Amino acid sequence: MRVEHTPGPWNVWYCSPTHVIIQSPDRRTVARLIHKNFDPSPLDLAETAANAALIKAAPSLLRVLCEAVTAHAGDGSIPWLPRAHAAIVEATPEV
């Protein structure tokens, strides 16, 4: 059985520069990013913001990838199709 992810869209909350929470619309925590360094560099903070943005976009990215794979199913001439399918399987684990 495939497990569905927490429904999006997800929101990013900056509790502090070193503590970021990604939550679902009903405020369930999807992910938490915490720096172990209490004095991170600006580059560390930018990387955390980029990671938070990527996590926030995950539901949309997965949906669009599924649509692309479905639209091109059976077309053996598309070299990225097997990798896209593998990414979908990786993102939707079975229990």
| Residue 65 to residue 57: CA distance in whole angstroms | 12
Residue ranges with strand state E in 1-95: 11-16, 19-23, 29-34
Banded pLDDT at 5 (limits 50, 70, 90): confident
Residue 31 pLDDT: 95
72: left (phi over 0), alpha (psi -120 to 50) or beta: alpha
Residue 44 pLDDT: 82
Nearest to 18 by CA among 42, 38, 41, 46: 38
Residue 26 pLDDT: 93
Residue 81 pLDDT: 92
Contact 33, 52 (CB under 8 A): yes
